[in-house]
Amino acid sequence: MDPVSAFGLAAGVAQFIGFAASLISSSVEIHTSVSGATSEILNIEMVYQQLAELSTLLAGDIVPHPGSQLPSPLTKHVGLLIDIAKTCKGDCDKLLAIVRTLKTGSGSKGRNKWRSFRTALKTVWKANEIDSLEHNLRRGQQTLQLAVTSISTYVYSLIRITSLSSFQGPNKV
C-alpha cells in the first residue's frame, strides 16, 4: 500500500473512532440523565420555548387597536415586526418538534441502553437540521432587534417633535 493510501485509511479510521466515541458518550449521557436527553438538547429546548413564547407575545401585543391610526412608516415597521415574530415562532416550533423526538422520556422504565443509543444516533442525524434552524433563528432575532430599534427611533423622533412644538407654544415668531 502506498503512503498516501495508508494515510487516507488512517485518517478514515481516526474519524470513525472519534465519531463512535462521541456517539457512545452521548448515549451514556442520555441513559444516565433524568430527562432522557443530552444537556445540549435540554438547553436548546428551554431557550427556544422561551423564544417561541416571546414571539407569540410580541406578535399579539403590537396589533393596533381597531380605529387607531398609526403613521405610515410606523405601520410598515409594525407589520414587518409581526411578520418576523411569526417566522421566528414557526422556526421555533419546527426546532422544538425535532428536539422532542430526541428525548427518550423520563424514568428508567422508558429508557434502556439501546434506546439511548438510538436517540444519540438520531441526535447526530438531526444536527444539521438543528444547526440550520438555529442559524435562521439567530438571523430572525437580529432582524427583530433591528426592527424594534427602528420603531423606537421613529417613536422617539415623534415624541421629540411633539415636545419641541409644545415647548415653543403659541408664541411662534
Residue 82's nearest CA partner among 62, 68, 67, 53 is 62
DSSP per position, 60-117:
HHTPPPTT----HHHHHHHHHHHHHHHHHHHHHHHHHHHHHHT---SSGGG--HHHHH
Give the pLDDT confidence score for residue 65 in this predicted structure. 55
- 127-168 and 72-101 helices, crossing angle to 10°: 160
* 173 confidence band (pLDDT: 50, 70, 90): very low
Residue ranges per structural domain of the chain: 3-168
The per-residue pLDDT for 133 is 94
pLDDT of residue 113: 85
Q: What is the pTM for the complete model shown? A: 0.72
The 10s digit of each residue's pLDDT in 21-77 is 888 888 888 888 888 888 889 999 999 999 899 888 877 766 555 556 666 777 787
Residue 114 is which amino acid? W
**Calpha distance 27→116 (Å, rounded):** 5
